[in-house]
Structure 1
Amino acid sequence: ARANWNRWLGLLVAVAALSCVCGAASASLEDDVMRLYQTGVAHNQAGRYFAARETFQQAVDLAPRAFGRGRRGPTHIDTAMLMQYLANAHLECFELLEAERLYLDCIRVARLEAGEDSPMIAECYGSLGLVATRLGQWQAAEDRYQTALKIDHNPDNRARSQRNLASMYLLSEQLPLAETSFRDAMDYWEATDRTRYAADIASCQHGLGMVALKQRNYRLAQSLFKTAAETRRRRLPANHKFIGHSTEMLGVTDSLLGDTASAVVRLREAETIMGAFWGSSHVELAEVEHELALNLARQGDVRGAIESMARSRRNYRRYIGSVLPGLSQAEQLQYLTVERGRLMDAFALAVEFQAEASIRATALEWVLNGKGLSYEVLAERHLLARDVAAGGAARQLAGQLSDIRRQLAALTASGDKSIEAQLQELNHREVELCRQIGLASEQGNAGESTHWATTGQVFERLPRDSVLLEFVYVDRDQPALSAFATAPQSTPDNPAVGRYLAWIVNGADRSIRIVDLGSAREINAAVSLVRKDLQEAPTKLAGAFPKAAAEETRMKLQQLAEKLLGPFSKQLAGVRELIISPDADLWFVPWSALVLEDGKYLVEKAEVAMVVSGRQLCRESTSQPRPYAVIMADPAYELPPEGVLERIRKSPVPTEQIPTRSAGGVGDALPREWPPLPGTRTEAQETQPHLARYLGDQPVLLYLGANALESYFKGLTKPRVAIVATHGFFVQGAGPRDQHPLARCGLALSGINRRDESVSPGDDGLLTGLEVLDCDLRGTELVVLSACETAVGETATGEGVAGLQMAFQLAGAGEVMATLWKIPDEETAELMTYFWDQRPQAKSSTAALRSAQLKLIESLDDAGLPSHPYYWAAPQIARAVAEE
């Protein structure tokens, strides 16, 4: 935080002047504000940031009564000044979202009360640059710093902005710019007053040491860190975090120079300093604990290394869970990418020391709490958005968000190249509204996203006849020497040394095993071969040699199975259900169709369920569905706009009383014409009695033909089961469209072929994943997407697939059945009829799907046709909560 003495003095004078004019009661309030202000300043100077935060909060709460309204608005400029100090305290405490909110409020008040030349505006922009830097938002950080430098005429503030800009350049690997900016700031302070600015000069020396370390000039880095540490020890209170920073980096440098023993000593000292400064739970302590773990491992202290890494992972998880709620999905993935290197180190460490059972159990928790973070936060946020839409402080924001999503959905799918700027603006607005809703929530820094799932909790919820398979992509085959000295060694797109690991968690004997599956490049290539083969299956099966085509597919599936399951296939004997948490390209594997050593498909051995993370086994649905189900099928794609409006006005069931299915290659835009799917009507009509039997006395509502409307689906509230049988799509797109994968996937409903003529907002026949987020499916047990490629989308390492299946889960559905490729209309209708015939007596949806797949295989064999996986293996069930 900035120590702007002139501004503090100005506040003292302002309060004193106001005291002369006001009465005794008012003067008493002003005295109270002043005492709180002075106490907060003292706490801040001593590095007691949490105490400063609490004290400034009290001052801000009292200030409106002491200062009254502003000249032009409800907030006085002096109240805003206290808000700025409170924001600084939040920033020092790493409470980034609250700090950002306060800085933006300060800028708004300063513009209104003091004009564009207010020093507060420049200072707040500089601080917002720090917020963006800590979130890994490099471009936003640079823009904010440059804005501050452009409008701030205070040379001290400009030097600090220059130094902070240098830190951003350092973290974003722009080392020449970082070095120049650090030297520019240091030159100013040395020329102005070396004694007065000794601490600021030390911060630049520390930064230059980091640059030298990144450039692998470890001796120079060591010298700079020593100089900075000596100054900081002289000028700062004992156990200050900046002393801890320099001590930590001296330990890191020792490690990189090969002196592990000295590194451990220094890092333990840094751990003590950070613990004294922050307490036992803080991200900066986690950073030190991570480095200590790496060095203890090299020293041979395996137990100490694992314990230190475990503390580090818990502290990182807590911090990440508090940051993500205020970020957009794209920002979350960017932030997690920046932080993922340390998680990769933890996984590599686990493999290296997996011999001991307790280490495997501890490492499983790193997996459980390291995967699916963005998914979990998004799920919480969308539940919150629906809550505030029903009432609350953020109701208006939620309404605006729904409107923006409708516009985004329509424009993204249009393929119109002339609307790129409009798309960018809508994307930006959607991001801001999501962040505001997150910040408006009292749950913003709490909830499931900060909860630590344990191995014991997973075993409590994992059935005895089930096995959890946690797959993890790692970009290294051994831990880094230091998180500061290495960049990720590979990515899923360029997996030079990337590997897949598997955690096998057995419910029967409560055992955990870790297996290194080998090269990600080789495994991804095998996955691609299988996907290509299945996509080409319709052509090959219609050719002269369908049985040869089926055998070729079996061979490729067996080769893939050997890579993914072969190393531990014996552990899967007798298992009822495999609960699989894939990673990266493994999300596109048709797991049920994998061919095992004995030549049988996996579906012949076990049920299969998909989860983003085994952590989901620890979650239970907290909502109850309403007693009805709905089936939507055979949409009237040619329904004209007037037909849509007529049916909206004459809704068959008021929503408040509600008790290859693909158009072909989807390129940059959706097809203009979608062919009818009469098989879906048959499927719906044959499914209805089976579904009614499953539900008991609860009604099953059919929406067929012209009644298969987008607005009808959006009006549904918590159906127990929802089935949609139609065309599915995923648009690849380019440019701004890539920013929103959920706006580029969806379902085709009535009127889609006439959507250019649509006059009904939100009912153009295009139900996108983005619009699904606004549906209320909390408590819904199962959504069946009987359409093509509804399980595909964009993958992010550790975060699942952003696509239609995820959209329905984020909307609250407990389970979603979706498909991996373009499915045949007739066989799919038969498969779904089998599924609902089995569901009433089946133990679970996965059991019913397995029975249906086996029956379709038998039916194809009896007819003398190839039982090719193309016909039956596309559907998979993704589970968002624990099985009942």
Structure 2
Amino acid sequence: MNYWLYHRAQPTLGFAVRAFETSELARARSLAEMLRATQTNLLAGLDRQLAEREKSLRQSLRVKEDYKVSLLARAYKKEELEALDGELTRLESEYQQITETIRQHYPAYEQISRPTAPDLRQIQEHVIVDDETLLLEYSLGEEKSYVWAVTRNDISSAELPAQKFINEPAQKVYELLAVPPSAETEKKLTEAARELSQMILSPVAAQLNKQRIIVVADGVLNYIPFQSLPMPAANSEQMVAAHEVINAPSASVLEQLRQESAQRQPSEIVLAAFGDPVFASNYAQRKDPNVNAETVVAQNQVSQHALRDMEIKGDAFDRSSIQPLFYAKRELANLRDVAGSATLIATGFDASRESLESANLTKYAILHFATHGILDPKHPENSGLFLSMVDRDGKARNGFLSLQDIYGLHAPVELVVLSACRTGLGKEVRGEGLIGLTRGFMYAGASSVVASLWKVDDEATAELMKRFYANMLQHAMTPATALRAAQNSIRQEPQWRSPYYWAAFTLQGDYRRLIKSPAQVQSRYVRMGLGGALLMLLAVTFWYRHHRRTRIA
């Protein structure tokens, strides 16, 4: 980026600001390009025929444009080119008309088709809420890399090594984090994490005295849970000990999520949870709880040691081989205990795609999934989550919730929790990090998403989720604060001390909204009811006095 050459020569001219704002705009544009490239549905909520017409015209234009390129590369007749140009002109005219119609019905489409980004001042005013918040935004390059450190009133920048030098320790850290720990791997992880911290955090060490750190990563850094990295000072603790870490695809996305969240009406119900679904492997057990006891014991022994798996084999993955999660049932029971009985807990055969798509998700504050998923890094549109794959009659059903389906959901919730493996990953897109299920749920309306970066231990995850929800709903913590407190608590347990057990889950998105507990929601409606009754009483009193004065007169 040439801005950096000017900035290094004349730093007082504010080229760091221009470079930062350019980075933000590039991130917004790259997301739109990726969504179009994968044909992801951008038009959730629109009339289906209108959405299909837009998609059809867009695909036709691409086909004709590709054909024109191939035509010009060989000997062609003038009439062929004129006919093709005429067809392109007609298609472009139709596409302009339909996109204008879409913009009138769906204002958010403008932001996707013609993305913009807020400037530095807007980000400082609306995204960085106080003097205890720091935004770290990374840009990795072939020759040099950079990091911006943005506070409420200041911005600074630092030069980092080239991408290839950052990739090596970062990949090592991720690989060591994602495997069950041993004395040898833990020692190697400590060394690799220290090396990476010195490389990407030391240059901004003076700014790391803030309570809250927002990380906008780039490239391989999207795989790294920064809360597990040691602070740059010698013999210092991991970042989670003293800092609340929030991840974001970009500062611009945080601003957009803040605006949407501010316009949202308070939720009526705290939680909708879908999990512990039925697969071919456990159908007999779920259909008949009295099935052969030896079979159940054998299945449970396998499940107890299961990882919450996000397969990366894509289309080659055998869906009939999915095993149930032993601790998912306990996790959902814990959520009911914490969130109260007035929740939607869909399990077993009821944890179906049909149940999810028919639910009115606008009523809920939290949408929770406790299940397996599939990750296709090269083709993220094939990624998704598995709900029940078998119905009560033993017939196969489509229980796969694809990325396309997620973009098509209407889920304006405060928080989505993906209690499955590697749900935070996806295809790397320059500028917008890793586009996966996390970004899909944000597009569907979620203000924030908690997701994992590697195959997570089933039992540790169930316990982490229990503490996370208790912190949010019983101790009135924001999701970011609640997650940090739960991770700090879990890592004090000797058997779960390794970051393998607690660091996989990260929070992306808006970090400021408190989620009301069941008692607080009920209290709000009681106050509304009392207020309405009081108004009615005043109205009756006024009518009675007015009527009495009229009769006396």
Same-fold status (TM-score > 0.5): yes
Inter-partner Cα distance in structure 2 for 1:675 and 1:812 = 31
| Per-residue CA distance 1:84-126 (angstroms, 9 max, x = gap) | xxxxxxxxxxxxxxxxxxxxxxxxxxxxxxxxxxxxxxxxxxx
- Judged with a 3 Å threshold, the aligned counterparts in structure 2 of structure 1 residues 839 and 742 are, in CA distance, closer, same or farther, namely same
Match of 1:459 in 2: 124
**1:724 matched to 2:369:** yes
Deviation at 1:689, TM superposition (A): 2.8
Deviation at 1:836, TM superposition (A): 0.6
SS at match of 2:491: helix
Partners of 1:817 and 1:876 within 8 A in 2: yes
**1:502 matched to 2:155:** no
Match of 1:388 in 2: 46
**1:602 matched to 2:239:** yes
Give 2:244's aligned amino acid.
Answer: E
Deviation at 1:400, TM superposition (A): 9.2
Deviation at 1:826, TM superposition (A): 0.3
Deviation at 1:627, TM superposition (A): 1.9
Inter-partner Cα distance in structure 1 for 2:119 and 2:332 = 42
% identical aligned pairs: 25
Inter-partner Cα distance in structure 1 for 2:392 and 2:7 = 56
Match of 1:14 in 2: none
Q: 1:473 aligns with which of 140, 155, 160?
A: 140
Segment of structure 1 superposing worse, 840-849 or 348-357: 348-357
Q: 1:627 aligns with which of 262, 265, 268?
A: 268
Partners of 2:34 and 2:429 within 8 A in 1: no
Q: 1:511 aligns with which of 154, 164, 167?
A: 154
**1:363 matched to 2:19:** yes
**1:710 matched to 2:353:** yes
Partners of 1:742 and 1:770 within 8 A in 2: yes
- Judged with a 3 Å threshold, the aligned counterparts in structure 2 of structure 1 residues 377 and 879 are, in CA distance, closer, same or farther, namely farther
Inter-partner Cα distance in structure 2 for 1:636 and 1:445 = 37
Partners of 1:469 and 1:578 within 8 A in 2: yes
Deviation at 1:345, TM superposition (A): 2.8
**1:677 matched to 2:325:** yes
Deviation at 1:452, TM superposition (A): 4.5
Q: Pick the structure with more helix per residue.
A: 1
- Judged with a 3 Å threshold, the aligned counterparts in structure 2 of structure 1 residues 519 and 384 are, in CA distance, closer, same or farther, namely closer
Q: 1:590 aligns with which of 202, 222, 225?
A: 225
Partners of 1:805 and 1:818 within 8 A in 2: yes
Inter-partner Cα distance in structure 2 for 1:783 and 1:880 = 12
Match of 1:577 in 2: 212
1:89-168 matched pairs, under 5 angstroms: none
Q: Specify every segment of 5 or more residues in structure 2 that has no aligned partner in the other structure, as ranges.
A: 58-91, 288-306, 515-553
Inter-partner Cα distance in structure 1 for 2:441 and 2:317 = 21
**1:774 matched to 2:411:** no
Partners of 1:616 and 1:881 within 8 A in 2: no
- Judged with a 3 Å threshold, the aligned counterparts in structure 2 of structure 1 residues 631 and 350 are, in CA distance, closer, same or farther, namely farther
- Judged with a 3 Å threshold, the aligned counterparts in structure 2 of structure 1 residues 350 and 748 are, in CA distance, closer, same or farther, namely farther
* TM-score (normalised: structure 2): 0.72
Partners of 1:780 and 1:812 within 8 A in 2: yes
**1:662 matched to 2:309:** yes
Deviation at 1:551, TM superposition (A): 2.5
- Judged with a 3 Å threshold, the aligned counterparts in structure 2 of structure 1 residues 782 and 354 are, in CA distance, closer, same or farther, namely farther
1:807-822 matched pairs, under 5 angstroms: 807-822=440-455
Inter-partner Cα distance in structure 1 for 2:466 and 2:198 = 33
Inter-partner Cα distance in structure 2 for 1:792 and 1:452 = 24
Inter-partner Cα distance in structure 1 for 2:393 and 2:310 = 16
- Judged with a 3 Å threshold, the aligned counterparts in structure 2 of structure 1 residues 457 and 729 are, in CA distance, closer, same or farther, namely same
Give 1:819's aligned amino acid.
Answer: S
Inter-partner Cα distance in structure 1 for 2:8 and 2:374 = 43
Match of 1:95 in 2: none
Partners of 1:663 and 1:675 within 8 A in 2: no
Partners of 1:818 and 1:876 within 8 A in 2: yes
- Judged with a 3 Å threshold, the aligned counterparts in structure 2 of structure 1 residues 823 and 511 are, in CA distance, closer, same or farther, namely same
Inter-partner Cα distance in structure 1 for 2:443 and 2:464 = 26
Inter-partner Cα distance in structure 2 for 1:754 and 1:584 = 44
Q: 1:615 aligns with which of 233, 249, 252?
A: 252
Give 2:368's aligned amino acid.
Answer: I
Match of 2:529 in 1: none
Deviation at 1:846, TM superposition (A): 0.8
Q: 2:334 aligns with which of 686, 706, 715?
A: 686
Deviation at 1:754, TM superposition (A): 11
Query: For the aligned residues, what is the CA RMSD?
Result: 3.5
| Per-residue CA distance 1:659-696 (angstroms, 9 max, x = gap) | x111766365123311111201101111223234xxxx
Give 1:504's aligned amino acid.
Answer: A
Bigger Cα Rg? 1
Work out the number of aligned pairs and report it: 439
Deviation at 1:445, TM superposition (A): 8.6
Inter-partner Cα distance in structure 2 for 1:688 and 1:518 = 48
- Judged with a 3 Å threshold, the aligned counterparts in structure 2 of structure 1 residues 780 and 704 are, in CA distance, closer, same or farther, namely same
Partners of 2:54 and 2:98 within 8 A in 1: yes
Q: Pick the structure with more strand per residue.
A: 2
Deviation at 1:364, TM superposition (A): 2.6
Give 2:442's aligned amino acid.
Answer: Q
Inter-partner Cα distance in structure 2 for 1:858 and 1:523 = 30
- Judged with a 3 Å threshold, the aligned counterparts in structure 2 of structure 1 residues 775 and 709 are, in CA distance, closer, same or farther, namely same
Match of 1:298 in 2: none
Inter-partner Cα distance in structure 1 for 2:386 and 2:415 = 20
- Judged with a 3 Å threshold, the aligned counterparts in structure 2 of structure 1 residues 728 and 371 are, in CA distance, closer, same or farther, namely same
- Judged with a 3 Å threshold, the aligned counterparts in structure 2 of structure 1 residues 374 and 399 are, in CA distance, closer, same or farther, namely closer
Partners of 1:438 and 1:444 within 8 A in 2: no
* TM-score (normalised: structure 1): 0.46
Inter-partner Cα distance in structure 2 for 1:566 and 1:755 = 60
Partners of 2:310 and 2:423 within 8 A in 1: no
Query: Which structure's relative contact order is higher, taking Cα pairs within 8 Å and 6+ residues apart?
Result: 2
Deviation at 1:555, TM superposition (A): 1.6
Q: Specify every segment of 5 or more residues in structure 1 that has no aligned partner in the other structure, as ranges.
A: 1-343, 402-431, 475-494, 645-659, 693-697, 733-737
Inter-partner Cα distance in structure 1 for 2:240 and 2:98 = 43
**1:636 matched to 2:271:** no
**1:800 matched to 2:461:** no
SS at match of 1:784: strand
Match of 2:203 in 1: 567
| Per-residue CA distance 1:257-303 (angstroms, 9 max, x = gap) | xxxxxxxxxxxxxxxxxxxxxxxxxxxxxxxxxxxxxxxxxxxxxxx
SS at match of 1:385: coil
Inter-partner Cα distance in structure 2 for 1:438 and 1:685 = 46
Inter-partner Cα distance in structure 1 for 2:47 and 2:493 = 49
Inter-partner Cα distance in structure 2 for 1:753 and 1:552 = 47
Inter-partner Cα distance in structure 1 for 2:56 and 2:334 = 41
Partners of 1:795 and 1:801 within 8 A in 2: yes
Give 2:251's aligned amino acid.
Answer: G
Match of 2:489 in 1: 855
Partners of 2:353 and 2:387 within 8 A in 1: yes
Deviation at 1:702, TM superposition (A): 0.6
1:351-430 matched pairs, under 5 angstroms: 351-353=7-9, 355-356=11-12, 358-375=14-31, 385-389=43-47, 394=50, 397=53
